[in-house]
Structure 1
């Protein structure tokens, strides 16, 4: 889970909010299923579930609109912009009608998840009661649907670090050609981009990469051979904001 920046309320929603709310109260219809609502929400999360960071739009993972404070209890917030989040069906099912006013969980547009969560053996754990309840309510360590996919992705990135390190150690700045250097740059950029918010499970991937001693070694060699670039540093800086603490 990563921090999300909520954009301004869509103008059309601001204009129609009162009417949509009344329609919901009368008919209990899905008034939030409007493109002027769903499109900005999905863009806000980079097409990912706001909680588990799976890719929305894949089979069985189409986007649903999450009412952080449950609509059945707080009808006046049914299309309140600050109450809406993009979510996958799995997380939505687990959260259900959990009352977040009574027992708060993490709203990633309000709180910074790394303040409340840490990583232990690819499993998310709570640093505090808020983090623990969030993990439990959303079942964020669901082995089949979440833990295994993020483990595979993070492991694949670690393999890429080893491959990049082999390449850069063999590269001689004085005799190497532009193609060799470009291949190294592409591979390192690919690693670091997966640690940024546009990519699935970015919090876990950023944590694993930045905590790997081989990554430190890779960066050191890149710097010494004058291959480390400003955009690599930009990607790393973004990754640092997503990184979770690691505990045994």
Structure 2
């Protein structure tokens, strides 16, 4: 999970939010509760939040990834407009821009109607995920005894097999890159001519760039990759070597 910035509310929502909400609330009053509205009528009344203009404004803010697990649509099901506060419990928030997140089908299904108003989970638009989560091997864990983070992991099944598998595949690649960096550093240190040092330095820079590309925000699971590199000794050593050379 990475920190996200909420974009400006789309014009279609600004124009229609109050009218859509009034129709829904009138139906709730008519039938006695959100739950009692007939299914077809309920779908018709609430479907506006899935408007293409709303999706077009919201989805790029998460780089077309799931805001929770960072999975791409082809890996975890279509990206959907998720209500952070469930509309079944908080119908007045059904068309609230601040209540929308892009979520993959798997995370949406895991969250279901969990009452985030009573038992909050991390919202990457409002919270800084790096302050709440850490990674241990292929598992995501709460920082210290962060209960909000623990609840998020549990509710969204962030340590399910579907997410541990891609992390494991990424971890293999990262370990491979890390080993290659160690060799590149040793080669640079043993270079016995300026020409060789320049060549080895270029190779070292290229290796760093390849690893850093995995942390780019539009890449799947970039938060996991960033966490790995922040504690990867060969990567940090290589960065320090290049920084020193640039300052000479």
CA distance in 2, matches of 1:96, 1:181: 51
State the 1:217 CA deviation: 2.1
Q: Which shifted more, 77-86 or 112-121?
A: 112-121
Unaligned runs of 5+ in 1: 228-248
3-state DSSP class of the match of 2:135?
A: strand
Q: How does 1:204-223 map to 2 (within 5 A)?
A: 204-223=224-243
State the 1:11 CA deviation: 2.1
* Residues 1:10 and 2:10 aligned together: yes
Q: Which has the larger radius of gyration?
A: 2
CA distance in 2, matches of 1:168, 1:23: 66
- State which of 188, 211, 220 in structure 1 corresponds to 2:208: 188
CA RMSD of aligned residues (A): 2.5
Q: Provide the TM-score with structure 2 as the length reference.
A: 0.81
Bigger share in helix: 2
1:48 equivalent in structure 2: 65
1:140 equivalent in structure 2: 158
Distance verdict in 2 for CA 1:66–1:226, change over 3 Å: same
CA distance in 1, matches of 2:59, 2:203: 33
State the 1:51 CA deviation: 0.6
1:112 equivalent in structure 2: 128
State the 1:186 CA deviation: 3.6
2:105 equivalent in structure 1: 89
State the 1:165 CA deviation: 4.2
Distance verdict in 2 for CA 1:85–1:215, change over 3 Å: same
CA distance in 2, matches of 1:157, 1:115: 23
- State which of 140, 147, 157 in structure 2 corresponds to 1:129: 147
After superposition, give the CA deviation of every residue in 1:121-153 in whole Å (9 maximum; x if it has no partner): 32112231111111111111002x101211211
CA distance in 2, matches of 1:212, 1:137: 30
- State which of 17, 23, 28 in structure 1 corresponds to 2:42: 28
* Residues 1:101 and 2:117 aligned together: yes
CA distance in 2, matches of 1:185, 1:212: 16
Residues 181 and 235 in structure 2, CA contact (< 8 A), matched pair in contact too? no
CA distance in 1, matches of 2:202, 2:15: 51
State the 1:88 CA deviation: 0.6
1:230 equivalent in structure 2: none
CA distance in 1, matches of 2:115, 2:15: 28
CA distance in 2, matches of 1:133, 1:60: 21
State the 1:16 CA deviation: 1.3
- State which of 166, 170, 174 in structure 2 corresponds to 1:157: 174
Q: Which shifted more, 150-159 or 67-76?
A: 150-159
Residues 161 and 218 in structure 1, CA contact (< 8 A), matched pair in contact too? no
Unaligned runs of 5+ in 2: 28-40
CA distance in 2, matches of 1:179, 1:33: 53
